[in-house]
């Protein structure tokens, strides 16, 4: 395919490049740190950048520690549907919630925090997991005139996937830069995520597909 040249109507959305998702973190994504230099290398190709940040209060509903007798990666039923339970991670104000120290955060025009409602988890950059409570990102992007969104970050099969699906539902063109993402891959969740993103019409790109 011909290389895509990002323009003023495009936005690069960098998902959750935080310490707790890196090797050694509380909810480490395998190879998560390999994404950081790839993202940094992509930043100069985009005029506009948004970064998301998981930002949970202590004792968040999605933490296994908040559910007596439950263990991380089990599934429980929340009022809004099935919820995977996670190790405590990205707790507000803790070192694990900080962005990776090498991530060029200075390029971000907006840092969008999500997951701060105590009783609702939030994978997507657009909606909490009830799929009704908005983060406000869609309105921000529309008001600024962005039409195409390019996604990278962590993790492919959760926060990236849900963000991409919601971007399409909100009427944006959406592309996943797969080289610049990594997955948790719980019981085939990566393959499922790829199918789901393709089903909503999202594109899949390599770094080389974006013109420098």
Tell me the pLDDT of the chain averaged across its residues: 96
Could you count the other beta carbons within 10 Å of the beta carbon of residue 187? Answer: 7
Q: Looking at the DSSP assignment, which residues form a beta bridge with residue 14?
A: 51, 152
Is 33 catalytic? The answer is no
DSSP 123-157: -SSSB-TTSSSB-SHHHHHHHTT--EEEEEEE-II
Active-site residue identified among 20, 33, 88, 114: 114
According to the model, what pLDDT value does residue 211 have?
Answer: 87
Active-site pick, 16, 33, 88, 157? 16
Question: Which pLDDT score is estimated for 1?
Answer: 59
Is 159 designated active site? yes
- Stretch 81-85: mean pLDDT: 94
The reply to whether 11 belongs to the active site is: no
Give the residue-averaged pLDDT of 87-106.
Answer: 98
Model pLDDT for residues 162-209, shown as the tens digit of each residue:
999 999 999 999 999 999 999 999 989 999 999 999 999 999 999 999
- Buried b vs exposed e over 128-166: b needs ≥16 C-beta within 10 Å? bbeeeeebebbeebeeeebebbbbbbbbbbbbbbbbbbb
What average pLDDT score do residues 38-55 get?
Answer: 98
Confidence category of residue 112, pLDDT binned at 50, 70, 90: very high
Q: What integer pLDDT is reported at residue 210 of this predicted model?
A: 94
Q: State the number of CA atoms in the 13 A half-sphere of 32 facing the CB.
A: 29
The Cα–Cα gap between 2 and 78 comes to 45
Query: Is the pTM above the cut of 0.85?
Result: yes
Q: What domains does the chain contain, in order, with CATH numbers? A: 10-59+87-209 (3.40.50.850)
Q: Would you say 46 and 11 are in contact if contact means Cβ atoms under 8 Å apart? A: yes
Catalytic, out of 11, 90, 159, 181? 159
Query: Could you tell me the pLDDT band of residue 121, with boundaries at 50, 70 and 90?
Result: very high
How much is the average pLDDT of 13-21? 98
- Coil/strand/helix, residue 23: coil
Write out pLDDT tens, residues 140-156.
Answer: 999 999 999 999 999 99
């Amino acid at each position: 395919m011909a290389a895509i040249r990002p323009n003023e109507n495009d936005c690069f959305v960098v998902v959750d490049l935080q310490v707790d998702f890196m090797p050694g973190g509380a909810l480490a994504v395998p190879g998560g740190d390999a994404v950081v230099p790839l993202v940094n290398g992509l930043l100069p190709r985009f005029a506009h950048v948004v970064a998301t940040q998981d930002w949970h209060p202590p004792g968040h509903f999605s933490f296994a520690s908040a559910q007596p007798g439950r263990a991380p990666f089990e599934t429980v039923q929340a009022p809004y549907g099935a919820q995977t339970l996670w190790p405590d991670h990205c707790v507000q104000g803790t070192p694990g919630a900080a962005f990776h120290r090498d991530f060029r955060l200075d390029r971000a025009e907006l840092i969008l925090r999500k997951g701060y409602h105590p009783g609702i988890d939030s994978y997507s950059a657009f909606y909490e997991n009830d799929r009704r409570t908005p983060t406000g990102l869609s309105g921000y992007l529309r008001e600024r005139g962005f039409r195409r969104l390019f996604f990278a970050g962590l993790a492919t099969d959760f926060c990236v996937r849900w963000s991409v699906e919601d971007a399409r539902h909100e009427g944006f063109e959406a592309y996943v830069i797969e080289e610049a993402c990594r997955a948790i891959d719980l019981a085939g969740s990566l393959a499922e995520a790829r199918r789901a993103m393709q089903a909503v019409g999202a594109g899949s790109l390599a770094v080389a597909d974006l013109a420098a």
